[in-house]
């Protein structure tokens, strides 16, 4: 694991390939897994003219099965139904082809997949959500190397990412709308940090805009946040009693199946 670095050092802390990341790649985890087809269908319904060229060799299939209708003449309920039927009839490989072409990485959707509502907000003594840069020190003091936790961290820029802590290692999972998918992020093989390095990294990317943009940029896409947008706005967390309990929570299955899974757990109490 990367040796501990100081937040003020010239080089940003660099992670390694994590075990969760490896499993997600093996499970073929990508946008349709955590978003479902709804986001693709909405794009096709409401932005048909812009989306059609992105369909590539599937464009003729779309025109044949759905038909192109001008916005002013479109009955969105009926048109949406036709688009949905067409998309869900495609083979998984074709759905994935469209998903990749549309660059529909969605940070909030990814965060919701792992930690939707069953989390606690990190708060200060006055019971308000803990504000500002001091929240990183709060995280460092509140939790130990041994804890099993999922964090949901939001920036002032509205970007949100997930951090999964198993003992002394933390894996960061993220995507960026219109820039890169979760698969792109996982393929960087640099999402895993020691607990000490994770705390250091948080300080670096919330106080140094160049380091923040370096960390969030993936592939050829360049994220260009300004200094007023890199601070942490919110932290939510959920703790688990064991590694096994946490791993059961993050099982990577398609979002529709996961909804059924959660409903089944709820019904069983």
pLDDT in tens, the chain (269 residues): 444 444 445 699 999 999 999 999 999 999 889 988 888 888 888 888 888 999 999 999 999 999 866 655 667 788 888 999 999 999 989 998 898 888 788 999 999 999 987 899 886 555 555 555 588 988 998 898 889 999 999 998 789 999 999 999 999 999 998 889 999 999 999 999 999 999 999 999 999 999 999 999 987 668 999 999 999 888 999 999 999 999 999 988 878 777 655 544 444 43
In the chain, count H helices and then E strands.
14, 6
Distances (CA, A) of 66 to 58, 76, 101: 12, 12, 19
Q: What is the pLDDT of residue 260?
A: 59
Q: What is the dihedral of CA 140, 143, 148, 152, to 10 degrees?
A: -60
Query: φ and ψ at 192, to 5 degrees?
Result: -115, 135
- Taking the C-alpha atoms of residue 52 and residue 38, their distance in angstroms, rounded to an integer, is 17
Contact status, residue 57 vs residue 208, Cβ threshold 8 Å: no
Q: What is the pLDDT of residue 36?
A: 85
For the chain, which residues make up each domain, given as ranges? 19-29+106-267, 34-102
């Amino acid at each position: 694991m990367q040796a501990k670095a100081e937040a003020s050092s010239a080089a940003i802390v660099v992670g390694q390939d994590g075990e969760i990341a490896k499993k997600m790649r093996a499970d073929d985890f990508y946008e349709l897994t955590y978003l479902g087809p709804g986001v693709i269908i909405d794009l096709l319904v409401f932005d048909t003219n812009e989306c059609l060229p992105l369909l590539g060799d599937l464009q003729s299939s779309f025109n044949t099965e759905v038909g192109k209708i001008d916005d002013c003449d479109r009955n969105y309920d009926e048109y949406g139904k036709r688009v949905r039927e067409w998309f869900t009839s495609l083979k998984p490989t074709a759905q994935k082809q469209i998903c990749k072409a549309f660059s529909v990485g969605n940070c909030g959707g990814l965060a919701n997949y792992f930690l939707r509502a069953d989390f606690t907000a990190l708060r200060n003594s006055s019971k308000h959500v803990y504000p500002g840069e001091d929240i990183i020190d709060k995280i460092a003091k509140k939790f130990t190397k041994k804890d099993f936790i999922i964090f949901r961290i939001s920036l002032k820029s509205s970007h949100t990412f997930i951090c999964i802590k198993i003992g002394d290692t933390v894996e960061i999972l993220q995507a960026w709308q219109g820039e890169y998918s979760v698969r792109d992020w996982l393929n960087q093989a640099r999402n895993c940090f020691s607990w000490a390095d994770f705390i250091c990294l948080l300080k670096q990317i919330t106080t140094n805009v160049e380091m923040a943009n370096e960390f969030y940029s993936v592939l050829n896409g360049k994220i260009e946040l300004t200094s007023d947008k890199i601070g942490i706005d919110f932290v939510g967390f959920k703790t688990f009693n064991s590694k096994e309990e946490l791993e059961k929570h993050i099982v990577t299955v398609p979002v529709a199946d996961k909804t059924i899974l959660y409903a089944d757990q709820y019904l069983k109490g």
